[in-house]
Amino acid sequence: MTLPATSTGGRTFAIAVLSLAVGGFTIGTTEFVTMGLLPRIADGIGVSEPTAGHVISAYAIGVVVGVPILSFFAARLPRRGLLVALMAAYGVFNLVSAAASSYGLLFAARFFDGLPHGAYFGVASLVAASLAPPHRRGRAIASVMLGLSVANVAGVPVATWVGQHLGWRAAYVLTAGLALVTVVLILVFVPSVAGDRNATGRGEAREFFRRKQVWLTMTAGAVGFGGLFAVYSYIATTVTDVSGLTEATVPVFLLAFGLGMTIGTWVGGELADWSVFRTLLWSSVVSVAVMIAFWAVAPYGWWLLPVVFLTTAIGSVTVTNLQLRLMDVAGDAVTLGAAMNHAALNVANALGAWLGGIVIAAGHGYRAPALVGAVLSVAGVGMLLWSAAVDRRTTGEVPAAGTSRLDPTEARR
């Protein structure tokens, strides 16, 4: 697979990637603020909290649906213009969410707001990689993803505070404003990067989905990363009922999740420049141990805090390198390959939370989702080993032996 390359100075490159990362910050803030304001949203639209929770699922479904549909039509489009259009649509549907007067309208608005999510990250990753020197491509893509991580440390708490003091609708107005800022930054600081004029949506889809390595990599993400969501979905009750801490300590654990995500994304980018597949494999193996540690340490109060940090740190190393691995095995379906990682991760979100809920409902307690996570991580490792075996059989090469095979030499079209 080849990526169009363009030459930029160090400062120009840094500002361009920062502008793309602001979009990730916007998306991360929007995606997770709904969870923090869910009781207020439920009261505002006159439904129960469990029913209001379905708007979170609507967003995740939108992400999964939006990636292949938008990528199908977007392969040939100029990438800067596409990013502007995706972020503008994101802002519009945030405003629609803020104005929603009924559950049905809010549900629809959240679904449509999820549609640009994966496509934005996919295209932004391609643009960042095309602007970066060959030895910094992993770091460039990680920097875009870092915006999503930083959102959990800064954006979500601020937006939640705004929603608590000015009403939940104000939080969506705030995120719409962030989308507008992103649009301006991209227009001003991101250079024009052409799409693939030879690509067609049908051709990209056929090229992408016929590849066995694509399916193995997406399955590794959808299954292996589900463990993080199995424990994250129930962290509040785990902290209070299992660890024996007060409800006031829950935000500290959420902060640890956010910090772990931020640092893990940065580390993942550094390690990617060493070896994408080897980093992906070993981070998945370590994730098994971390999940078991989560189960073992959960009853011991504050000792759980560093394990929570490690859970998302290791998970974020995995996510960054899954993104690069999918781009690596996508062949010429570069746009779709860069975006489908986020569809796979939203499947992981739904799968982990669902399986965690099942074991809790079966009476195994709030530690049990960590064991579910360990099993899912083992399954993810198995998929990666299968992927390595396929590479060895078909190419005679072991992917863990080197870095990403993305070709940085092709001139920009």
- What is the average pLDDT across 9-37? 85
Q: What is the separation, in whole angstroms, between the first and last Cα of the chain?
A: 15
Tokens of 188: 């001003």
CA distance 260 to 309: 5
Q: Are 231 and 238 in contact (CB under 8 A)?
A: yes
In this predicted structure, the answer to whether residue 247 has a pLDDT above a threshold of 90 is: no
- The fraction of the chain above a pLDDT of 90, given in percent, is 26
Domain range list for the chain: 1-198, 199-398
Q: Are 304 and 247 in contact (CB under 8 A)?
A: no
Domain 199-398 has CATH 1.10.760.10: no
pLDDT digits (tens, 9 = 90+) for 60-113: 888 888 877 776 676 667 888 999 999 999 999 999 999 999 999 999 999 999
pLDDT digits (tens, 9 = 90+) for 376-401: 999 999 999 998 888 788 765 656 44
Alpha helices in 190-333 (DSSP H): 201-209, 212-224, 226-232, 235-237, 250-272, 276-297, 304-329
Candidates 288, 284, 290; CA nearest to 311 is 290
Would you tell me the crossing angle of helices 10-36 and 103-131 to the nearest 10 degrees?
160
More confident residue, 94 or 404: 94
Q: If DSSP codes are grouped into helix, strand and coil, which group holds residue 2? A: strand
Tell the CATH topology of 1-198.
Answer: Growth Hormone; Chain: A; (1.20.1250)
pLDDT category, 144, cuts 50, 70, 90? confident
Burial class (CB in 10 A: 0-12, 13-18, 19+), 362: exposed
DSSP β-bridge partners for residue 176: none
The DSSP letter of residue 239 is: I
DSSP β-bridge partners for residue 411: 5
Question: Is the pTM of the predicted complex or chain greater than 0.75?
Answer: no
Task: Say what the pLDDT of residue 406 is.
Answer: 47
- What is the average pLDDT across 22-44? 85
CA distance 290 to 360: 20
| Amino acid identity at 63 | V
Q: If DSSP codes are grouped into helix, strand and coil, which group holds residue 412? A: coil
